[in-house]
Amino acid sequence: MSSNRVTVTPYKRHSRHVHGQLRPQCQSSAPSITHHPHRHTMATNITFHPGSVTKPERDDLLKQRGVTIWLTGLSASGKSTIACALEQHLLHLQKFAYRLDGDNIRFGLNKDLGFDEKSRNENIRRIGEVAKLFSDASAITITAFISPYRQDRAVAKELHDKASIPFIEVYIDAPLSVVEERDPKGLYKKARAGEIKGMLVYHARTHPSSSSSRIDFTGISAPYEAPENPEIHIRTDETSVVEAVQKITEYLVSKGYLSL
């Protein structure tokens, strides 16, 4: 890839890393959520109606291939920051790209969901379906969600695999000490003070060399299950936003998902 090095214009909406921190301006405040129990009623007497344009035909007409880039990681790991910058970069390359962000989706499509395990599962299931629709329309779809459970991410991937749509899992990774230092929403501070239940637990196996990763949060039970074999692994305490975008873009080019 050295001869085809991707050049990324610095993302001006984000300040530089300071002491290993990402300082995004492209982020939304966490919404105030009122939980309404969601009811599932299975639809009956329905038939899938295929369109007149096949996906390969659409890809050829739009001169790009639809693909889902699934960013997963702890709160404050840098998912939204990188997603914003990647979307901007791809659009500047004249590519049809769209970003789905965790907080933003909870203002609309998923505003009826809470943060218990069942709601988290349904949240990711819906996003998997929406991402698949965007990518089926030949968009480069970028999702930025904590998506803490491996099984839920596997379900999202399976949806794409069945539709022959590429699914790229990107682990946005940072040590607990770094995400706690960033903590733009104050969630970690509140969790340590016992003010938040259901905050994500940081598994020691994610960074076994770090003693801080073994800290237990009192009254906290929801785990984050780190990807075991992500297509791309980015340590945001060691990688700048521009470098992260460059790494993802180069991967897309190397796999034939993107032509420059």
Q: Which fold has domain 57-254?
A: Rossmann fold (3.40.50)
Q: Are 75 and 170 in contact (CB under 8 A)?
A: no
Q: Which residues contact 174 (CB under 8 A, 6 or more apart)?
A: 73, 74, 76, 77, 78, 235, 236, 237
pTM for the full model? 0.76
For residue 45, report the phi and psi dihedrals to the nearest 5 degrees: 55, 45
The CA distance from 138 to 59, in Å, is: 6
pLDDT in tens, 115-149: 777 887 888 899 999 999 999 999 999 999 888 88
- pLDDT value at position 106? 82
Q: Are 194 and 171 in contact (CB under 8 A)?
A: no
Rounded to an integer, the average pLDDT of 100-125 is 83
Residue type for 99, please? R
Among 75, 77, 138, 147, the one annotated catalytic: 147
Which band of pLDDT confidence, cut at 50, 70 and 90, is reported for residue 177? confident
CA distances from 56 to 139, 165, 202, 254 (A): 13, 11, 41, 20
Q: Which residues contact 6 (CB under 8 A, 6 or more apart)?
A: 246, 249, 250, 253, 260
Structure tokens that stand for 17 in this block: 């890393």
Residue 220 clears pLDDT 70, i.e. is over it: no
**86: DSSP letter:** H
- Of the candidate ranges 13-22, 47-56, 78-87, the one whose mean pLDDT is the lowest: 13-22
pLDDT in tens, 68-92: 999 999 888 999 999 999 999 999 9
As a dihedral over the C-alpha atoms of residue 246, residue 123, residue 185, residue 235, rounded to 10 degrees, the angle is: -30
DSSP 100-126: EEHHHHTTTTTTT--SSHHHHHHHHHH
Residue type for 131, please? A
Known catalytic residue: 77? no
Q: Domain ranges in the chain?
A: 57-254
Per the listing, tokens 């009254």 go with 219
